[in-house]
Amino acid sequence: MLWMTLFHFGFDLNHFGWIRADFYRDPFWTWQRTCIVSLFLLCAGIGQAVAVGQGQSWPRFWRRWGQVAVCALLVSLGSWLMFPRSFISFGVLHGMAVMLLLLRWAAPRLPTVLLVALALLALAAPSLWQHPWFDTRWTNWLGLITHKPVTEDYVPVLPWLGVMLLGFVLGRWLTARAAWLEGPVPRGLSPLARLGRWSLSYYMLHQPVLIAALSLLQWLRLP
């Protein structure tokens, strides 16, 4: 969450013209985005394994899924207002909403070996097969595209489902060794733990707050 905030702060500084950086092609920024999204989805997979291990009911799952889905729609609306030519039609929350459904339905029923095999297949799929049919906004969510769409965020089901599946496998392994997860959170890390419990709320609020603060600073700097 902190890394994501710093990344978005840099993106906002570039958007307001306070720094010059290429967030779409410079490996320094593109690799950071890949790592941040990977951590995000890995943790989501771990969280689902913990939830399943604790017997999370379907109604509770649907409540949380509904929150993710509504937030994804709000992200699309907000990005359309700010970037009408490159708005987010299938970003990280859209991807999570679809992948959580697949994960919740299939992963608890499958053995770990098969989950790992499916994860590797999902990671490799976009390199194994692509087709122009998947290049439209209505079909690019699958990920089998021939070129990346013009959008501010793009997290298709393939290959990213593979990361979430690996997270589920890791979470299943950790919950089988529950003693590793027991005990109080160290005092110095409690703020980070609190941030993790409210990750969706923080995700939705941090960018509007950053943009509003920078807009105010830019307005104050005007002659």
Quick count: other Cβ atoms within 10 Å of Cβ 158? 22
Residue 28 has pLDDT above 80, yes or no: yes
**Which token pair is 87?**
């708005």
Reference 16, options 152, 202, 219, 223; nearest CA is: 219
The pLDDT mean for the chain works out to 92
Q: How many whole angstroms separate alpha carbon 200 and alpha carbon 64? A: 10
Whats the size of the chain, residue-wise?
Answer: 223
> Could you give the residue ranges of the DSSP H alpha helices within 16-142?
27-53, 58-82, 92-106, 112-128
Q: Residue 66's domain spans which residues?
A: 2-221
How many domains is the chain built from?
Answer: 1
pLDDT surpassing 70 at residue 47: yes
pLDDT at 223: 58
Instruction: Supply 157's token pair.
Output: 């089901």
pLDDT of 146 over the 70 cut: yes
149 pLDDT more than 90? yes
Distance CA 48, CA 153 (A): 23
> Where residue 104 falls among pLDDT bands split at 50, 70, 90?
very high
d(CA 76, CA 89) in angstroms, rounded, equals: 6
pLDDT of 189 reads 80
